[in-house]
Amino acid sequence: GSSVLEELSLARADGRYLKLLGQLSKLDVLVLDDWGLIQLSQPQQEDLFQLLDDRIQKRSTIATSQLPVEHGHQNMANPTIADALLDRLVQPAYRIELKGESLRKRLTKPLKYVKEASTSG
């Protein structure tokens, strides 16, 4: 599946941008999973800023991240837009910090390699 930012980029190219932005702005809950793990280009930052600006004080947005909030700028191309974007995400937020080992690590069983027995005869 493609990400919201990829969809917005495609929509910008084919004329669906405002319609898609409107639809995303009206979702009751928008989840931004693994926030800050990938580099955001300036156009992606602008799209995300516009989306969050349209949603602020109207709809719920949940962002998950492995990074502390203070490192939220590290993968953003434009620091000025990053400030404004993070302001819209962090200031009205309820912040929940989880500590401990990753749940994925606990739930995923390590792969076991089985060596085939060779028979000769």
Instruction: Name which of 20, 15, 16, 18 is nearest 30 in CA terms.
Output: 20
Token pair for residue 42? 């300036």
Check pLDDT > 80 for residue 114. no
Q: What letter represents residue 59's amino acid?
A: R
- 4-99 adopts what CATH topology? Rossmann fold (3.40.50)
Across 105-111, average pLDDT: 67
Q: Where are the domains of the chain?
A: 4-99
Check pLDDT > 90 for residue 15. yes
Check pLDDT > 70 for residue 34. yes
Check pLDDT > 80 for residue 73. no
Check pLDDT > 90 for residue 91. no
Q: What is the chain's Cα-based Rg?
A: 20
